[in-house]
Homo-oligomer: A and B are copies of this chain.
Amino acid sequence: MRRVYLDHSATTPVHPGVIEAMVDCMQNHFGNPSSVHSFGREAKKLLEEARANVAHLIGARPEEIIFTSGGTEADNLTIFGVARAMRKKGNHVITSATEHHAVLDACQALTKEGFEVTVLPVDETGMVRVEDVKAALKPETVLVTIMHANNEVGTINPIKEITQLVKAHGAIMHTDAVQTVGKIPVDVNDLGVDLMSLSSHKIYGPKGVGALYIRKGTKLFPLSHGGGQERKRRPGTENLPGIVGFGKAAEIMARELPEEMGRMGRLRQRLIEGLLAIPEVQLNGHPTERIPINVNVSIKYIEGESLLLMLDMKGIAASSGSACTSGSLDPSHVLLAMGICHEVAHGSLRLTLGRDNTEEDIEYVLDVLPQIVERLRAMSPLYANKEG
């Protein structure tokens, strides 16, 4: 059976060149980068090469990159690390309603430490309004964290404008760029942010490794303690194979991005057109300000999990904001924040493209999907009600 992976915002396949680099690292350079001897020095060299590659991808300097165990840790390190370090200056943090749980839940936990957190709303396309940020800034505001692009609907926030406001106000600006890095051009100096979270497994690197960009001079307490690794900001023996893989992925992304961005955009347009040709399907998110790999639609009168399972039987991997897929009782907080009602959120389908996808893959999906939709709708009392 044909297998079509369309869940690249959840995770990506590991690039063959990345696997090769990791195997070389594990077979030939397994030393501990802290060791004095040649095994250690070779490992250290690989570590610093990877750091340079990741820095290059976002226009940073290598010494401004520290490696973490993933995007979640980078987000948590920022939120707890900066807020606690700035506690004397103020106790107010601003974030937005569509952030990843790593940001939202960390901010929520901050409130138990005496912080006040403002969660900004988004408009119906999922975008944070610059004027809302302006209105929320207070003398006590020490940190603003707004994601670069959303993982569910792909909407890109106006981070550059927001950052200008935040910096002029004297607060620290962080953006979770897990979903944009490697997909659109991202430059820390163009955006002006102080901190930026990255994750390797979203850019064809291995899982379990990420990075935090920390602009020189930004104060941050570590989340954990131990050896002096990563400039004392992130202790523990470095995940060398993971970091080497991440570095290789960053190098490949930097090279492929210009061409892939265009190709993804074209596949995406074809997919959206095809999906909107099915009756009662709506596009969620922003029509243009969205990352080129993201398609998110709501297919009315059906529920996302059943849809995913039927697609899976046809070899198609996708995801949904349905409550039934989340393990919790509520559908996607992102779709709800955009003002989409529960019922429509339940029928959401996210298809996220990647470098292995072809036009044939898209045609296959557009061939299979209408039949599935029809079958599910035939079973749905909502659809029956509506017709009746």
Contacts and interface: CB of A to CB of B under 8 A. Distances in A.
Given A38-B312, A101-B225, 18 more contacts: A3-B38, A7-B37, A10-B35, A13-B30, A19-B27, A22-B26, A35-B317, A37-B312, A37-B317, A37-B318, A69-B69, A69-B73, A72-B224, A72-B235, A201-B237, A207-B238, A208-B242, A242-B242
Contacts of A384: none
A73 B222 CA distance: 12
A225 B76 contact: yes
Q: Copies per complex? A: 2
Interface in A245-292: none
Contact of A319 (B10, B16, B35, B317): B35
Nearest to A324: B36
Question: Which residue, A26, A39, A312, A327, has most C-beta atoms of chain B within 10 A?
Answer: A26
Contacts of A228: 327
Interface string A23-61: 100110011101111111000000000000000000000
Interface string A55-75: 000000000000001111101
B38 A207 contact: no
A32 B14 contact: no
5 contacts: A36-B325, A69-B236, A206-B239, A206-B241, A208-B241
Contacts of A106: 224-226
A32 B19 contact: no
Nearest to A222: B109
A235 B109 CA distance: 14
Interface of A: 3, 5, 7, 10-14, 16, 18-19, 22-23, 26-27, 30-32, 34-40, 69-73, 75-77, 80, 100-102, 105-106, 108-109, 199, 201, 206-209, 223-228, 235-243, 305, 308-309, 311-312, 315-320, 325, 327
Given A38-B317, A39-B5, A70 B236 contact: yes
A75 B36 contact: no
Nearest to A25: B14
The 5 lowest CB-CB distance pairs between A and B, nearest first, are A208-B239, A72-B236, A102-B226, A76-B224, A105-B225
A26 B227 CA distance: 30
Nearest to A210: B236
Contact of A305 (B36, B101, B224): B36
A312 B36 contact: yes
Contacts of A30: 11-14
Contacts of A101: 225-227, 235
Nearest to A327: B228
A239 B317 contact: no
A10 B30 CA distance: 11
A348 to B, nearest CB: 13
A388 B13 CA distance: 68
